[in-house]
Amino acid sequence: MRFGPFSPQDQVTVTTLGLEFAVAVALGTGVGFWADRHFDSLPWLTVLGMFAGFALGMYILIKEARRMARQAAPRKEDKKDGSI
Amino acid sequence: MEVSETLAHHILDHDFGVMFGTLHLPITAHTVTMFCISIVLLVMGILMARQGKSGFSRLMHTLGEEYVAFMRDGIVVPGMGAEGKTFVSYFCTLFLFILVSNLAGLIPQMKTITSNIAITGGLALCSGALIVYCGIKFHGVWGFVKTFVPGGTPWWLVPLIFPLEVVSLLIRVCVLAIRLFANMISGHMVLLSLLLIVFIIGQLSKMAGVGTALPAMGLEIAMTLLELLVAFLQAYVFTLLTSIYAGLVIHSH
C-alpha cells in the first residue's frame, strides 16, 4: 500500500526520524555533560552539546526529506503522463 | 513485594552465574533463552533445508522457500537493489531470530530477550557492520569514506559535514537498537501493570479487586494480541531498516 508519492521504504524511514532526532539531541547533551564534568565547566558545554545535537537532528531531518522528495519527483511525473 | 520490584523481577535479567575460581561466567535467564532460541532455529533450518519424501518434510521445505522468497523480494531487493541478493541469508536469519525472540516471552518461564538493550545493541552492531561492509565492498575503502561527503559540498564545509555524516550513521545504528528494545520492554511493562492493577486495588478492598479483575483481564487479552502484532512488526521493521540503510550506502553517489 502506498501513501502519496513515497515508497513503502520511505514510509518506514519516516517513522524513525523522530527517534533519530531525539537520539541526536541526547547524544549531544551527553557528550557535552561528559566534557563539562571533565573540564569542570558546568553547564556551558552541556548547553553547547544540546544545541549541537539539535543542529545534527535538523541536518538528518532535512537531508532525509530532500532525499525522499528527490526520489518521489520522478514518480509524480510518471503519474502526470498517465503511466503507473 | 513493591510494585516496582515485581515489575523489575519479571522484566529484568537474572544471573545464575557460575564461578570458576575468580572467573565469573554469567549464565542469565536471557542467555539461556537465547541458546534455546538458537537451537530451535537451527533445528527448524535443518528441517527446512532437507528434501525428504514425507508430507511434513515437503511442507517445511515449501515454507522455507516461501520465506526466503518473501525476504528477497519483499525486503532485500526493494531496499538494497539486486546487489543485496548476496546478503539474503543474513536478513533471513535476522528476521527469524528477532521474531522468535520477541515471541519467546509469551511462553511460560521464557524471557523476551529483545527487552535487553545488550541483545538489541548486539543485533544493531551486526547490522552496522553489514552496512560498513556493503560500503567497502561496493565502493572500496576510499570510495566509502567519500560517500560521507555529499556531492557538491564546498571544500570549506567538508570538515563540518564529514563528522556530521559519520555521527548520523552511528545514530542510525543506535536507533535500530533503541527502537526494538523500547517497543518490547514497554509492551511487557504495560501487560504486567495491567495485571498488577488487580492486586493493588485488591489490597485496598477485596470486592473492588474482584470487580477490577474482569476489565483488567479483558485489557490484558487485548494488549497481548497487540504485543503479538508488535512482535511481527518490529522484526519486520528492524530487517527492513537494515536493508534500507545498507541500500543507501550502496547507492550513494
Which among B78, B79, B164 has CB closest to A59? B164
Q: Tell me the chain A residues in contact with residue B177 when contact means C-beta distances shorter than 8 Å.
A: none
Interface of A with B in 2-41 (CB under 8 A): 7-9, 12-13, 15-16, 19-20, 23-24, 27
CB B242 within 8 A of CB B127: yes
ipTM: 0.82
Q: What's the gap in Å between the CA of B219 and the closest CA on chain A?
A: 27
What pLDDT score was predicted for residue B188?
Answer: 87
| Pairs of residues, one from chain A and one from chain B, whose beta carbons lie less than 8 Å apart | 45
Position B41 confidence tier, pLDDT thresholds 50, 70, 90: very high
pLDDT recorded at residue A45: 94
- Rounded to 5°, angle at Cα B76 from B138 and B68: 125
**E strand or H helix at B24:** strand B23-25
Q: Which of B58, B61, B84 is nearest to B73 (CA)?
A: B84
For B193-227, the pLDDT digits (tens) are 888 888 888 888 888 888 888 899 999 999 999 99
B34 or B13: which leads in pLDDT? B34
pLDDT tens digits, B50-99: 878 888 889 989 999 999 999 999 999 999 999 999 999 999 999 999 99
pLDDT of B247 reads 93
Checking if the pLDDT of A61 tops 60, the result is yes
Q: Which of A40, A27, A43, A83 is closest to B168 using CA atoms?
A: A27
Query: How much is the pLDDT for A75?
Result: 60
The residues, ordered by sequence, that sit 6+ positions from B176 with a Cβ below 8 Å of its Cβ are: B120, B123, B124, B127, B128, B238, B241, B242
Residue A76 pLDDT greater than 70, yes or no: no
Cis peptide before A43 (omega within 30 of 0): yes
Task: State how far the Cα of A50 lies from the Cα of B247, in Å rounded to an integer.
Answer: 31
Q: Model confidence at A69, in pLDDT bands (50, 70, 90)?
A: confident
Cα dihedral A24, A30, A31, A37, rounded to 10, equals: 160
- Euclidean distance between CA atoms A38 and A65, whole angstroms: 37
Question: What is the predicted pLDDT for the residue at B1?
Answer: 66
State residue A84's pLDDT score.
Answer: 47
Q: What are phi and psi of B233, to 5 degrees?
A: -60, -45
Query: Domain coordinates of chain A in residue numbers?
Result: 9-71
Interface test with A, best of B162, B170, B171 (most A CBs within 10 A): B171
Query: What pLDDT score was predicted for residue B249?
Result: 92
Of the partner residues B171, B179, B244, the one whose CB lies closest to the CB of residue A27: B171
Q: What is the pLDDT of residue A12?
A: 86
Task: Please check whether residue B222 touches A, CB under 8 A.
Answer: no
Q: Out of A9, A15, A56, whose CB is closest to B167?
A: A56
CA nearest B64: which of B83, B40, B46, B82? B46
pLDDT of residue A77 exceeding 60, the answer is: no
d(CA B97, CA B180): 13
Average pLDDT over residues B42-53: 87
Q: What is the percentage of chain B residues whose pLDDT exceeds 90?
A: 58
Q: Residue A75 corresponds to which cell in the numbers above?
A: 514518480
Contacts of A15 in chain B (CB under 8 A): 237
| Angstroms from B80 CA to nearest CA on chain A | 11
Name the amino acid, one letter, at B55. Answer: G
- Give the pLDDT of residue A35: 95
**In chain B, which residue ranges form alpha helices assigned H by DSSP?**
3-11, 29-49, 55-70, 77-80, 88-104, 117-146, 158-204, 206-250
- The pLDDT of B28-48, averaged and rounded, is 91
pLDDT tens-place string over residues B129-170: 999 999 999 999 999 999 998 888 888 999 999 999 999 999
Scanning the structure block, which residue is given the C-alpha cell 527502537? B179
CA distances from B220 to B55, B104, B108, B194, B198 (A): 38, 18, 16, 6, 11
A71 touches chain B (CB under 8 A): no
Closest chain A residue to the Cα of B77, Cα to Cα: A9
Among the partner residues A7, A16, A63, nearest to B241 by beta-carbon distance? A16
For A14-38, what is the mean pLDDT?
Answer: 94
Among candidates B182, B177, B161, B137, which has minimal Cα distance to B11? B182
Quick check: A49 and A10 in contact, CB under 8 A? no
- CB contact under 8 Å between A12 and B174, yes or no, is no
Half-sphere exposure (Cβ direction) of B132: Cα atoms closer than 13 Å: 11
**B149 close to A (CB below 8 A):** no
Residue B236's pLDDT is what? Answer: 95
pTM to 2 decimal places: 0.88
**CB distance B78–A7 less than 8 Å?**
yes
Q: Tell me the sheet residues that pair with B28.
A: B15
B79 contacts A19? CB cut-off 8 A: no
Partners of A63 on chain B (C-beta within 8 Å) are 150, 168
HSE value, Cβ hemisphere, 13 Å, CA-based, for B206:
0
The confidence score (pLDDT) of residue B121 equals 96
For B227, the grid coordinates are 504485543
To the nearest whole Å, the CA of A60 is away from the closest chain B CA by 7
Q: Report how far apart, in Å, the C-alpha atoms of B56 and of each of B46, B62, B65 are.
A: 13, 10, 14
